Amino acid sequence: MTHAAAHYTSTGLDNKKLAFWAFIGSECLLFGSLISTYLVYKGRSVSGPTPHEILNIPVTSVSTFDLLMSSLAMVLALAAVSRGDKLWARFWLGTTAFLGLVFLGFQYYEFTSFVREGLTIRTNLFGSTFFTLTGTHGAHVAVGVLLLLTLLVRSFQGKLGPEKAINVEVTGLYWHFVDVVWIVIFTVVYLLQ
């Protein structure tokens, strides 16, 4: 991160961005297999609680909305950094990180209430696959929040000018990917019970 981003590459593409796209490609397979595992074992739990007994659609709809809006804040942050607008860059980066934290808070609430209602990762196939899938997604959100806060600190240190916009762009790629994974999870896990 400390050396200049723009240097010659044989593809003519920024190698950081290429690496991030390749990483996101491999993440497709990770989440693809976790979602498939969830679907393969859907409806095969021998004991409850089952998805439609426990999943809280209104609350999750709000957290889905929250994550979608964080993606909007993220693209606005990238636009602000690219045009060298420090104030708005900090505002939108902070907003994105904050919305990410809110999402994690929703997930904390969801997980603890599920445990209270008797669904843990050990309870049944639904519990195992559900917590593995959404927990992995939550861990990705947490890493994304760390990245965003790092960018925010770099901005306050005066080290996030337009020449470093690529760092914001790749963080954005990651963040939007985490968002689209949630789009799929929300539909497949929560709405298609």
Partner 1 sequence: MSPEHRSEHAHPGTGTYLAVAAVLLIITIVEVGVFYVPAFKPVLAPVLLTLSAVKFGLVVMFYMHLRFDHALFRLIFTLPLLLALGVSIALMFLFGAFGLGH
Partner 2 sequence: MVVYSGALIGFMGWGVWAHHMFASGLGPIADSVFGATTMMIAIPTGVKIFNWLATMWGGQVRFTTAMLFAMGFIAMFVIGGLSGVMHSSPPADLQQTDTYFVVAHIHYVLFGGAIQGLFAGIYYWFPKMTGRLLNEKLGKLHFWLMFIGMNLAFFPMHFIGLLGMPRRIYTYRPELGVETMNLISTIGAHVIAVALLFFIYNVWRSWRRGEVAGNDPWGGAMLEWTIPSPPPDYNFTVIPEVVSRLPRWSVTHMKAIPEVPPQPIHVPGGSYWPLVAALGIIGMATGAVAHTLWIVLASGAVLIFSIYRWAFEPFEV
Binding site for partner 1 (CB under 8 A): 6-9, 11-14, 17-18, 21-22, 24-26, 28-29, 31-33, 35-37, 39-40, 42, 57, 61, 64-65, 68-69, 71-72, 74-76, 78-79, 82, 163, 166, 172-173, 176-177, 179-180, 183-184, 186-188, 191-192
For residues 62 and 146, which CB has a smaller minimum distance to partner 2 in the complex?
146
Which residues 6+ apart lie within 8 Å of 11 measured at CB?
18
For residues 154 and 176, which CB has a smaller minimum distance to partner 2 in the complex?
154
R_g over Cα of the chain? 19
Q: Binding of partner 2 at residue 136 (CB under 8 A)?
A: no
The footprint of partner 2 on residues 141-160 (CB under 8 A) is 146, 150
Which residues 6+ apart lie within 8 Å of 104 measured at CB?
138, 141, 142, 145
Distance between CA 136 and CA 141 in Å, rounded?
9
Which residues 6+ apart lie within 8 Å of 127 measured at CB?
45, 119, 120, 121
Q: Binding of partner 2 at residue 40 (CB under 8 A)?
A: no
Q: How far is the CB of 127 from partner 1 (least distance, A)?
A: 18
- Cα 132 to chain centroid distance, Å, stands at 15
Out of partner 1, partner 2, none, which partner does residue 114 contact, by CB within 5 to 8 A per kind?
Answer: none
Distance between CA 137 and CA 139 in Å, rounded?
5
Taken in order 127, 66, 186, 36, the sign of the CA dihedral is: negative
Q: How far is the CB of 146 from partner 2 (least distance, A)?
A: 7
CB 100 within 8 A of CB 149: no
CB 107 within 8 A of CB 60: no
Q: How far is the CB of 64 from partner 2 (least distance, A)?
A: 27
Out of partner 2, partner 1, none, which partner does residue 146 contact, by CB within 5 to 8 A per kind?
Answer: partner 2
Residue from the set 3, 7, 52, 122 that interacts with partner 2 by CB under 8 A: 3
Q: How far is the CB of 40 from partner 2 (least distance, A)?
A: 12
Enumerate binding residues for partner 2 (CB under 8 A). Answer: 1-3, 146, 150
